[in-house]
Structure 1
Amino acid sequence: MTQRTDDALFAVTVARPWLVAAFARPQAMLSWAMEKPGFRTARRVAWFEVRNADLPPEVDAFALLKGRLADEGLGDAVAMMTSRDVRRAHVGEAAFEDVAARSLATVGLSNAARVGEAPGPGHIGTINLLTAVSTPLSQAGLVEALSIAIEARTAAVMDLGWRVAGGVATGTGTDCVVIAAPAEEGEGARFAGLHTDIGAAIGAATYRAISAGGREWLAERAAG
């Protein structure tokens, strides 16, 4: 079954194993996504849902994702992998003055960790996040906006109170974050910090999406 919702920033389509955020016009993006990381211009961000059986040791996960994107006609998308049921994705929205932001996230904490602790074995269960803002940003602005989204992600995870070795989890070992802003000619906004409407909108939208997804994951775990 395919579910679709529309919004001024991006439209969301869910058709397992795919979750796709589609923009009406090109976006400047920054991420460390598995496919098309770094600074990119794109109109779509895709999540591909996988299971352990899809990724035996001999399978190249990057090649698998690239091939499946091509098969699905999503070769232009910035893309991530998730073990979370993509139907469990959550949206967060916020606006300050004339700046709007929208976040889309899949949240699992089985691979949770606390920053600064010794690395441990990896597991499935991670956070994959897109946050889009309505205001064009310079490259420096994108970097700062990405940092604000990550800060909001961390705050939301810590507020969930999920404990791991060393204390309360701050994220997972394989989180991925994509920040997006309209790709315009010329220089976009230089600053996107906590004292700007841009940073406030990004932070609030991100926090809401991660918090909702995390609460749902915790409730599912408690229910067994």
Structure 2
Amino acid sequence: MIAVTLDRPWLLADLGAPRRVLSFAPHRPGFVTARHVVWREVRNADLTPDLDAADWFARTLAQRGHAEAVGLLTSRDIRQHVLAAAKADGERATCLATVGLGNAETVGSRRAVNGIGWSTSYGTINLLVLIDAGLTEAAQIEAMTIAAQARTAAVMDCGLHLPDGRRATGTGTDCIAIAADPGPIAFAGLHTALGEAIGRAVYSAVAKGAAAWVQENGGTAQGYP
């Protein structure tokens, strides 16, 4: 299980032991070993255009004693985090998610705002998935694709639309972290029990978080943080 500690603007996820974590997180991406995954809630004033955000985040984490953690950034109120778990044929996955959709996009396109080629709104979906089983590196990569698919399905089902009427499929700054121990399981696709558990845990967490965001902000992405 993931043990969660909220100390706003920080959200700390304790994996119970050092795990192999695969992510494209702002801090310590790729395959790394970490016991903690840390969220930092930020606002526009925190990340000014002239700021080296990666350096600032690394220094801030080090000051908190979490230089070796995997670090995520979000503008979503971290009090709205969602934790969900699922089992299938003895395989278990747990997902911790924060879901902000102000930066929503439809895959294969970019919203042009104020003459530039991307949205200037803020909001992201950050996911941490803890898998109980031991995986090969290839299976851990495959697990990330299942998490991404489940996230996208949940966003598409939440009813959020872009200003041109297309359904949102995610945000421009989504991030996924998959934590597992090294082990012999070589497959984590849709036909496996592990893939089913990952998919259900992620879908449940993102669907709940997305529903809360839409309830707060409405069903169109434009103009919301």
TM-score, normalising length: structure 1: 0.91
Specify the alignment match of 1:136 in structure 2: 134
1:15 and 2:17 equivalent? no
Give, in whole Å, the separation in 2 of the partners of 1:94 and 1:210.
13
Q: How does 1:25-174 map to 2 (within 5 A)?
A: 25-118=17-110, 120=112, 121-122=118-119, 123-164=121-162, 165=164, 167-174=166-173
- Counterpart contact for 1:114–1:166, Cα < 8 Å: no
- Separation of aligned partners in 2, 1:133 and 1:96: 12
Task: Tell me by how many angstroms 1:118 deviates.
Answer: 3.7
Aligned with 1:29: secondary structure? Answer: strand
Q: How many residues align?
A: 213
5+ residue gaps, structure 1: 1-8
Q: Which residue of 2 aligns with 1:177?
A: 176
Percent identity of paired positions between Structure 1 and Structure 2: 48
Tell me if the contact between 1:25 and 1:182 (Cα under 8 Å) persists in the aligned partners.
no
Measured after TM superposition, the shift of residue 166 of structure 1 is 6.4
Residue deviations 1:30-66 (CA, integer Å, cap 9, x gap): 1100001011111110100110011111111111111
RMSD, matched Cα: 1.6
For residue 57 of structure 1, give the secondary structure of its aligned residue in structure 2: coil
Give the ranges of 4+ consecutive aligned residues of structure 1 lying more than 4 Å apart after TM superposition. none
Q: How far, CA to CA, are the matches of 1:66 and 1:53 in structure 2?
A: 18
Deviation readout 1:87-127 (Å, 9 max, x if unpaired): 11011110112111110111011000000124532321111
Cα distance in 2, alignment partners of residues 201 and 47 from structure 1 = 24
Paired AA for residue 202 in structure 1 = I
Distance in 2 (alpha carbons) for counterparts of 1:155 and 1:166 = 17
Local SS of the residue matching 1:36: coil
Q: Does the 8 Å contact 2:92/2:131 carry over to 1?
A: yes
Q: Which runs of 5+ in 2 are unaligned?
A: 113-117, 219-223
Moved more, 198-207 or 92-101: 92-101
Deviation at 1:80, TM superposition (A): 0.8
Q: 1:207 aligns with which of 169, 182, 203?
A: 203
